[in-house]
Amino acid sequence: AALFSLLERVQSGDVSVSDAAGELRDLPYQDLGYARLDHHRPIRTGWPEVVFGEGKTPEQIAGIVHAMAGRGFPVLVTRASVRAFEAVKQLLPAAEFHREARCIVAPDGSGGAAKMAGALVMTAGTADAPVAEEAALTATLMGCDVTRINDVGVAGLHRLLDQRDRLEEARVIVVAAGMEGALASVVSGLVSAPVIAVPTSIGYGASFDGIAALLGMMNACAPGVAVVNIDNGFGAGYLAAQILHMPARGEVAEDHVGGE
């Protein structure tokens, strides 16, 4: 979207060729010394690089976010600490910290376009909420209107069955569950929408920090379940947004090619 906008501004005469070349100077990537930022990624995939905060210093995260901001997309940092957020906020005062999702967001200042409905994020238990919130935030930033259903694990199946209407309205469902991870199979057996299962590292010793849930989800007896890595809420939210936006892609491409 940013590239199409730039080309249209050049065509209309609002931006000179030399200024446009300046805006494109960091393609295909920008070398910060400690990181090479893939500014070309939105052109290839439709969405910019997302920053994995774990293992990076607050100063590195702040530098990366500052270099990525102002390019037509919000900047998302996952697995972020409060210290990292404080460092980012010094450079970008509009940055937000989503504590439960453990994410930093630097808004793009667009005011927010209309969101596409149909994404549902649900948890088996309250302890799965941080992973689910990471998924929900990711999908929201990628243009989805996300509905949440919390604490409907299979130990109390009546809680899930009370949500049948909301399940049937969804076009894609993210299920975050630890322990044995059974909720994804049950949900997939109730709906026609694709289910993205996220095993979480919640459970006692034999859950092996999410491996039991991962294996349970991969052995789901109900079809239509795709499984992401343990605690990978970001990956689940990203995939959910991709699925939800697929029917609109042809229309978007035609709008750009049409020129007006």
pLDDT of residue 1: 53
**Partners of 147 in the beta sheet?**
120
Long-range pairs of 52-60 with CB within 8 A, sequence gap ≥ 24: 52/77, 52/78, 52/79, 53/77, 53/78, 53/79, 53/80, 53/81, 53/84, 53/104, 54/78, 54/79, 56/84, 58/83, 58/84, 58/86, 58/87, 58/88, 59/87, 60/34, 60/35
Nearest to 94 by CA among 70, 78, 114, 113: 70
- What pLDDT, in 10s, does the model give residues 80-127? 999 999 999 999 999 999 999 999 999 886 655 678 889 999 999 999
Higher pLDDT, 40 or 139: 139
Q: What is the mean pLDDT of the chain?
A: 86
- 249 pLDDT band, cuts 50/70/90, is very low
Q: Please, what's the largest Cα pairwise distance for the chain? A: 65
Mean pLDDT across 179-194: 94
Instruction: Using pLDDT thresholds of 50, 70 and 90, give the confidence band for residue 246.
Output: confident
What average pLDDT does the segment 169-187 reach?
95
pLDDT in tens, 228-244: 999 999 999 999 999 99
* Greatest mean pLDDT among 22-26, 34-38, 135-139: 135-139
Predicted pLDDT at 9 = 75
Average pLDDT, integer, range 58-83:
91
pTM: 0.83
Please determine, for residue 158, whether its predicted confidence score (pLDDT) is greater than 60.
yes
pLDDT band of residue 254 (cuts 50, 70, 90) is: very low
Token pair of 23 as six digits: 């805006």
- Statement: residue 45 has pLDDT above 50: yes
